[in-house]
Amino acid sequence: MKQKYAITVDDLTVAYNYKPVLWDIDLAIPESVLMCIVGPNGAGKSTLIKAILGIIKPIAGTVSIFGKSYKQQRSLVAYVPQKGSVDWDFPTTALDVVMMGTYGSLGWIKRPGQKEKKASLEALEKVGMLPFKNRQISQLSGGQQQRIFLARALVQNASIYFMDEPFQGVDATTEKAIINILKELRKAGKTVVVVHHDLQTVPEYFDWVTFLNVKKIATGPVKDIFNDDNLTKTYGINYKVSVQE
């Protein structure tokens, strides 16, 4: 029996200079799950996402999205980079950044019009940032900037969402708001992959988990594999978390 996977990764290996950052990763992520990737610093979590998205060229391995190559399926995939990866002093407004999410479907040269603007305003509304649409982006708080990035991905109307540490440096209110949106996405049948750091919230937020430390340690449903054994294997220290049932 062959199950249909949203994302399959085979033998993915990435190296920056001499040392491999990712070694022989195999992954099969089913459709419509909310998955987190956990692992220590330098485990290659962001690199895994970037390699799947073709931002970094892997040394070996293949990635397929719904059974076809990523290049063919690009329009089905949206990406939320780390908030710190861009210069927020760039001269532009919140609405303008969200509109960038429509550039992919527009293609070369064509400018966004009324339709794209409407979709962007709706995305801003969804993340609760509509009142800030004309705000210069440097004048937004860290949490608001994260919401803008999320809105930019929502506007792409994708089937798969990759998010690199969306909860980094945001307050509790924003974290709740974001996770609610992610849960809604899953409910709508979308697949969401999140690089995550806070192990305490894993069972509450996610239903699927991948343990990563250069190699893949384990991947599967949170309720089956999120245990001290896998955490110890991943983090290398004797790990004890209280998993709430």
Element (H, E) at 45: helix 45-52
Task: At 53, list the tokens.
Answer: 């998205």
Phi, psi of 142 (to 5 degrees): -55, -45
Site map for other proteins, 120-139, x if CB under 8 A? ----------------x-x-
For other proteins, the binding residue among 4, 19, 57, 91 (CB under 8 A) is 91
Q: Whole-number minimum distance, CB 70 to other proteins, in Å?
A: 9
For other proteins, the binding residue among 15, 30, 53, 61 (CB under 8 A) is 53
Helix (H, G, I), strand (E, B) or coil at 150: helix
Comparing CA positions, the residue from 162, 146, 143 lying closest to residue 210 is: 162
| Nearer of residues 85 and 242 to other proteins, judged by Cβ | 85
Q: Whole-number minimum distance, CB 232 to other proteins, in Å?
A: 33
Element (H, E) at 93: none
Pairing of strands 68-69, 60-65: antiparallel
Which of these segments, 32-40, 51-59, 171-179, 181-189, binds other proteins (CB under 8 A)?
Answer: 51-59
Residue 245 binding other proteins, by CB under 8 A? no
Q: Which residues contact 174 (CB under 8 A, 6 or more apart)?
A: 143, 144, 146, 147
Determine how many CB atoms are found less than 10 A away from the CB of residue 65. Answer: 21
| Nearer of residues 109 and 237 to other proteins, judged by Cβ | 109
| C-alpha span between 245 and 237 (Å, rounded) | 23
Pairing of strands 191-195, 208-213: unpaired
Residue 75 binding other proteins, by CB under 8 A? yes
Residue 100 binding other proteins, by CB under 8 A? yes
Q: Are 67 and 240 in contact (CB under 8 A)?
A: no
Phi, psi of 57 (to 5 degrees): -85, 120
For other proteins, the binding residue among 3, 19, 57, 108 (CB under 8 A) is 108
| DSSP letter, residue 185 | H
Which of these segments, 3-11, 106-114, 200-208, 224-232, binds other proteins (CB under 8 A)?
Answer: 106-114
| Nearer of residues 54 and 220 to other proteins, judged by Cβ | 54
Residue 168 binding other proteins, by CB under 8 A? no
Element (H, E) at 1: none
Please count the residues of this chain forming the interface with other proteins, following the rule CB under 8 A. 32
For other proteins, the binding residue among 93, 157, 168, 227 (CB under 8 A) is 93
Residue 40 binding other proteins, by CB under 8 A? no
Binding site for other proteins (CB under 8 A): 17, 50, 53-55, 74-75, 77-79, 81, 85-87, 90-93, 97, 100, 103-104, 106-112, 136, 138, 152
